[in-house]
Amino acid sequence: MNRIRIWIFAITGFMLLWGQTGWCEDQEQEEKVYAVQNKVFHRHHEIDFLTGYSADDDFYHLYPLGLAYTYHLNEHVSWEVARAQYVLTQDKDLKKTLESEFEVQPEQFSEPKYMVHTHAVFKPFYGKSALLNRGIVNHEVYVFAGGGVVNYEWNQSSGESRSESAFSISVGAGMRNFLSENFCVNVEIRDLVNFKESDTENNVMLGVSFGFRFNLGTRKVEEDQSMKRLKRILDED
């Protein structure tokens, strides 16, 4: 009789201990909190229409226009395969003064014409913002670094021109704002260091781009196994 009581107490205690351990594990699982859910607008491919402005050039206001293609490897890493930009320029007052008052020759002014770069992109921050408390805007902050070529042109007094292609390093940061699953607006600041034959030029550029994002194939959707079994049972009936 005593043995039976001992076994009853032992089994009861074991069951209570097991239940308490399971409850604690459930509590630990329930207490896991994630800052933000997975990115709802992830797409692998992105084509951007670019524009920008730089006031750092000594003799010209720079207005680049162009296109870029980016491949998003995953939610945190991307490769901007190519960024090609044609540069519109406007003479600064300093250039006009040097030409008119000091008779400085045109070939002494190097005018940037176009640039091509490629970048590695890292996207560490993702979040949401309330727009006038009326809607939610998803956005991500990214940093990038890469290299490329900037082409310069000198217009000589004789009417002829010569050009130079200079190696360029490009680094910066930006914010991508998702308008929908397929469209976004990007705001960037980048620093260009261009190694010309005569000197090294450094330009800080502000940019805005409008992006179209897409996948080439159908996105994989995780299937609920319980619903799959229920459908199979109903089909059998």
Instruction: pLDDT tens for the chain, 237 residues: list them.
Output: 555 555 555 555 545 444 454 444 444 445 455 555 567 778 999 999 999 999 888 889 999 999 999 999 999 999 999 999 999 999 888 777 776 666 666 566 789 999 999 999 999 999 888 878 788 889 999 999 999 999 999 876 666 778 999 999 999 999 999 999 899 999 999 999 999 988 899 999 999 999 999 998 755 545 556 666 666 766 665
- Which has the closest alpha carbon to 175: 138, 200, 223, 212? 138
pTM, entire model: 0.73
Q: What is the pLDDT of residue 105?
A: 61
| 144-147-148 Cα angle (round to 5) | 135
Task: Output the CA–CA distances (angstroms, integers) from residue 87 to 14, 112, 148, 153, in the order listed.
Answer: 77, 7, 15, 11
* Eight-class DSSP state of 32: -
Count of Cβ atoms closer than 10 Å to residue 104 Cβ:
14
CATH (residue range 45-214): 2.40.160.20
* Amino acid in the structure at residue 89: T
Q: What is the pLDDT of residue 132?
A: 81
How far is CA 232 from its chain centroid?
Answer: 43
Residues 47, 211 contacting (CB under 8 angstroms): yes
